Amino acid sequence: MMQSFLRSPFSTLITFITGMVVLLGYFIDVDPLNVLRSRFLQWTVLLAAVALMLGVFNLMRVHWKRLKESSIKAIYSFAFFGGFLLALAVGGLLGVQHSLTRAVIDFVIIPIETSLFVVILVSLVYALTRLLQSRLSAFSFVFLVTVVFSIIGSIPLLGIEIPFLQGGDGILSLMTRVLGTAGVRGLLIGVALGSVLTGIRVLLGLDRPYGE
């Protein structure tokens, strides 16, 4: 920590002070501390918005450079600029409640989300195959049952509802409520613990994502 502080004293000190003010504001109910914590959080949101805009501009710069180089992947850059301009024009000029905006969401964004779901499904099947090849245990069996029932429940079977399997009181609904919810909670707990650990390391100056 001392070496990190000596290399970048001002950035490390600012990060430590602001982080401690925000952290203590959640545990100590003092009006000046709460006001200062709210102000720091508002600045964080503003800086995050600026970072998002810089990321968009950097993405546009990369694709523009690819267009100038006339590479083989230039077609993807054309598609990017076309989609970006279309989304900006439709969403910015017509608003999110317009029928054309809803059409873009229904015929562009939802199919993309569906394709991502297929990628997740293939990844689950591949992970299941590797897991069964490496070791067989009770957890492997639970994972197998969960994936199989999730696939069956997500894929429509010619519009036919299987008794005791689908529906509000079916086995799939029970699996979703119990095993699915348990998995999501486990992921959230892991993300929370990782975020807390990363925040502590940033506060102590061990990790310095704000620069050298």
In a domain, 210, yes or no: yes
Tell me, what's the pLDDT at 46?
92
In a domain, 108, yes or no: no
User: What's the token pair of residue 81?
Assistant: 């600029």
| Domain end call among 62, 77, 94 | 94
Tell me, what's the pLDDT at 50?
92
* 77 and 148 both lie in a single domain: no
Number of domains in the chain: 2
| Domain end call among 94, 127, 151 | 94
Strand ranges inside the chain, DSSP E: none
| Calpha distance 123→206 (Å, rounded) | 35
| Residue-range definition of the domain harbouring residue 139 | 135-212
Name the strand (E) or helix (H) holding 157: none
Q: Which position has the token pair 């959640």? A: 26
Tell me, what's the pLDDT at 2?
46
| Successive 10-residue mean pLDDT values, the chain, 212 residues | 54 77 81 86 89 89 81 78 81 76 79 82 79 75 73 62 61 70 83 82 68 54
Residues 6+ apart with CB under 8 A from 18: 40
Tell me, what's the pLDDT at 130?
80
* 156 and 78 both lie in a single domain: no
In a domain, 182, yes or no: yes
* 86 and 6 both lie in a single domain: yes
In a domain, 113, yes or no: no
In a domain, 167, yes or no: yes
| Domain end call among 94, 118, 147 | 94
| Calpha distance 181→171 (Å, rounded) | 14
* 77 and 145 both lie in a single domain: no
In terms of Cα–Cα distance, which of 49, 50, 79, 52 is closest to 63? Answer: 79
In a domain, 117, yes or no: no
In a domain, 6, yes or no: yes
What is the three-state SS of the chain? CHHHHHHCHHHHHHHHHHHHHHHHHCCCCCHHHHHHHHHHHHHHHHHHHHHHHHHHHHHHHHHHHHHHHCCCCHHHHHHHHHHHHHHHHHHHHHCCCCHHHHHHHHHHHHHHHHHHHHHHHHHHHHHHHHHHHHCCCHHHHHHHHHHHHHHHHHCCCCCCCCCCCCCCCCHHHHHHHHHHHHHHHHHHHHHHHHHHHHHHHHHCCCCCCCCC
Question: What's this model's pTM, rounded to 2 decimal places?
Answer: 0.53
* 86 and 141 both lie in a single domain: no
Residue type, 89: A
Residues 6+ apart with CB under 8 A from 210: 11, 15
* 88 and 36 both lie in a single domain: yes
Tell me, what's the pLDDT at 6?
46
In a domain, 71, yes or no: yes
* 83 and 15 both lie in a single domain: yes
